[in-house]
Amino acid sequence: MAEKNIQLIIEYDGSNYSGWQSQQNAQTVQDTVEYAIYQTTGIQLKTIAAGRTDAGVHAFGQSANFKIDHTIDPEKYKDALNHYLPEDIRILKSQEVADDFNSRFDARSKIYRYRIGFDKSALLYKYRWEYEEDIDLTKLTESAKFIIGEFDFAPFCVVASRKENNVCKIYESNWQILETEAIYEVKGERFLHSMVRSLVGAMVNLSRIKKDKNKQNLTLESFKDIIQSSTEERIVYTAPAHGLYLVSVQYEKD
């Protein structure tokens, strides 16, 4: 038998997990998927994911790959793993990819989505940020335009997770305003730790109609200045994790 490189496209509800990445003394999506692989094949191995999602973050299309020497057809891993996985994690697709394919380093772009609800819902409260304060929707949609381009997003990254280079290229950034919620989508070449949640938190802050007198409030102008300048200032407005979704990962072959 020859070793094969298998790619998985994974959907999951992150509510019950401490994020994607394996951790000691915590339940993670990665550990759960790898245990399903072990139950299926009897082989313990590590998967490589396109990106780490934080605790509570969901995914429609996480990409992960692993190398294995086994007789199972690549397309059959989907059903085999789903047999052992809990209902809140599903393998949508499994396929053999080139031996040098790496889900993380070969990713060309990612799309994230964030949902904000304008009222409380018994069914959706775990899957969106229920924000009942009045906000200026014109400012909200206008602020998203400032993010498009190539900027140093260090202010929107957890300080301990900043890299030597924190420049990210953003291709698309927009809000869709519906009757009961607002949906933000952003497509970029790369994203920093907590970057999308920090951007959403900042955009909501600057759009609030009722300002908090005891805290610093952003404006459209100050938000634009922070993005376009290389400041080390940390933006502390972070939207809750449960409203965030990794929608898809794009590769050159796509």
pLDDT tens digits, the chain, 254 residues: what are they? 689 999 999 999 999 999 999 999 999 999 999 999 999 999 999 999 999 999 999 999 999 999 999 999 999 999 999 999 999 999 999 999 999 999 999 999 999 999 999 999 999 999 999 999 999 999 999 999 999 999 999 999 877 677 888 899 999 999 999 999 999 999 999 999 999 999 999 999 999 988 776 667 899 999 999 998 866 777 788 999 999 999 999 998 65
**CA distance linking residue 93 with residue 105, whole number of Å:** 20
Both 156 and 46 in a single domain? no
Read off the pTM.
Answer: 0.94
Report, as residue numbers or ranges, the catalytic residues: 54
Is 202 contained in some domain?
yes
Which of 203, 215, 213 has the alpha carbon at shortest distance from 177? Answer: 203
User: What is the number of domains present in the chain?
Assistant: 2
Of 62, 97, 132, the residue at which a domain comes to its end is 97
Domain that holds residue 13: 4-97
193 touches 158 (CB < 8 A): yes
CATH code of 226's domain: 3.30.70.660
Both 164 and 246 in a single domain? yes
